[in-house]
Amino acid sequence: MTEVKEAIFDYWTRWAPHFDGSASHVRHPAAWQAVIAAAVPGPPRRCLDFGTGTGACALALAALGHLVVGLDGAPGMLAQCRRVAAERDLDIVLVRGDVEAVPFADATFDVVAARNLFWTLPDPDRAMREIVRLLRPGGIFLFSDGLWLTGSVPPEASSHDMTDYVPLLDELPYYRGLSPEKARSLLAFHGFGAPSQWEAAFPIHPYAHQATGARHFFVMTAARPAE
């Protein structure tokens, strides 16, 4: 498992300088920020962006005044996020780490965000258990993902060069992505309340520009039950 994760982190570090060229949050920043603002209202909250990448959720949450930590295993992705945060004068604490074994205490965060992360994880259920552990009772999980690959959309059609990633796909339970139905089942299994969905708030489909077209995606929030 360690070798698989290191290969994944290495892939995303090498892809990091090119990632934002096709990233939805770069092409549609105002739309993403408006949706995240509605999904995670003030007052300022302590937020963890799980698998932050180049900072899709972290940058939006910080711009809205929240206290943000971004966690990622790929140092190249963290470097890109750090650069953009500095350009925008946003204060984001960036930590290199594994989302399946997070170096923070229980109930540390009011919000955990994970966007387009779960297809990259060898053990997504373990990551969900970490999210539950890290959230305070009543805390919010902001969950965004999509069904990226189907029978008519093979890995080679991805917006990224997947050549080096293909050998890892057998290790990734959700490498094709997640449907909204699967996401709701995952949330229920791990004890979250009924989710609210926010994708209808986008004025245009935020992924329509990508090579594989406008695919199914979702933005949900669900609360960890108060104890």
Residue 151 makes CB contacts below 8 A (sequence gap 6+) with: none
Report DSSP letters for 98-130, one per residue: BTTB-SS-TT-EEEEEEES-GGG-S-HHHHHHH
Residue 71 has pLDDT above 70, yes or no: yes
Number of domains in the chain: 1
Q: What is the CA radius of gyration of the chain?
A: 16
Look at residues 224, 222, 207 and name the one whose alpha carbon lies nearest to residue 24.
207
With bands split at pLDDT 50, 70 and 90, how would you rate the model's confidence at 112?
A: very high
| Host domain of residue 128 | 2-223
Phi, psi dihedrals of residue 144, rounded to the nearest 5°: -135, 130
pLDDT digits (tens, 9 = 90+) for 149-173: 765 555 555 556 667 777 888 899 9
What is the domain-level CATH number for residue 74?
3.40.50.150
Mean pLDDT of 75-79: 97
